[in-house]
């Protein structure tokens, strides 16, 4: 995959996570619990490498979460 990392892109990514963490704090999610949300959000973003974040739709997240449920159910001990 082509590495499109530029200083501007890195700054935009840092601003995104800063705003995300601020939103979590506004919702009452505090340290260290906000880290869990960041990790899970990054997992979701990483699972859709060809899709820009602003192009994501509710169905994309729903499908991702359904896949996690299926994966969890299939790996659960009987």
Residues 2-51: tens digit of each pLDDT: 557 899 999 999 999 999 999 999 999 999 999 999 999 999 999 999 89
Same structural domain, 60 and 37: no
Same structural domain, 73 and 37: no
Count how many domains the chain has.
2
Same structural domain, 28 and 42: yes
The residue segments making up the domain with residue 74 are 52-78
Tell which residue, 52, 54, 61, 47, has the closest CA to residue 4.
52
Is this prediction's pTM over 0.95? no
């Amino acid at each position: 995959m082509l590495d499109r990392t530029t200083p501007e892109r890195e700054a935009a990514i840092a601003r995104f996570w800063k705003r995300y963490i601020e939103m979590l704090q506004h919702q009452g999610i505090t340290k260290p619990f906000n880290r869990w949300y960041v990790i899970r959000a990054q997992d979701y973003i990483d699972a859709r490498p060809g899709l820009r974040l602003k192009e994501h739709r509710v169905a994309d997240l729903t499908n991702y979460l359904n896949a996690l449920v299926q994966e969890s159910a299939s790996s659960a001990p009987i």
